[in-house]
Structure 1
Amino acid sequence: MEQIKYRMIIQWSDEDNCFLVALPDFPGQYWRTHGDTYEEAVANGKEAIESLIIAYEADNEPLPEPLFCRMG
């Protein structure tokens, strides 16, 4: 799969005792996955994005446009 260009927001949750992963470029449920470590959350986030892309393509739906924030 080509380079992923979608944003992930990773945030620690004391309530859930894990890192939560949001994929704001995809409509629907905000929190998509999680991980016990930051690295696990990143890996799970990438997997979630890849799964969403496959699902969009299987349904012949256009992928959402990635939103970019400029730094500086």
Structure 2
Amino acid sequence: MRQVIIYPGEDGYWIAECPSLPGCITQGKSKEEVIANVKEAIELYIEVLIERKSTVPEDTLEVLQV
């Protein structure tokens, strides 16, 4: 499991990012769609890292409200 950030984007789309995986960003027309899309993006991202024998970054996101 990875922590993700979702937020409304332009034109009614939702954006999702996985901060522990740089560049792992996707979008969807609804929250449900963007969550499904980011799950797939995370799986593919990690799959490519493993294929390339690269280190898979830890999920160390800390969330604070200030």
2:35 is equivalent to residue 42 of structure 1:
yes
In structure 1, runs of 5+ residues without a counterpart are none
Structure 1 residue identity aligned to 2:21: F
Could you say which structure has the higher helix fraction? 2
Deviation of 1:38 (Å): 0.3
- In 2, the alpha carbon distance for the partners of 1:63 and 1:56 equals 6
RMSD: 1.8
Taking only the aligned residue pairs, the percentage that are identical comes to 31
Matching residue's letter, 2:18? L
Alignment length (residue pairs): 64
Tell me which of 44, 47, 53 is aligned to 1:60: 53
Distance 1:37 1:67, change over 3 A: same
Q: 5+ unaligned residues in a row in structure 2: which ranges?
A: none
Q: Is the 8 A contact 2:20 2:61 kept in 1?
A: no
Q: Distance in 2 between matches of 1:64 and 1:46?
A: 16
Q: Measure how far apart 1:69 and its partner are.
A: 3.3
Give the Cα separation in 1 of the matches to 2:36 and 2:7.
Answer: 14
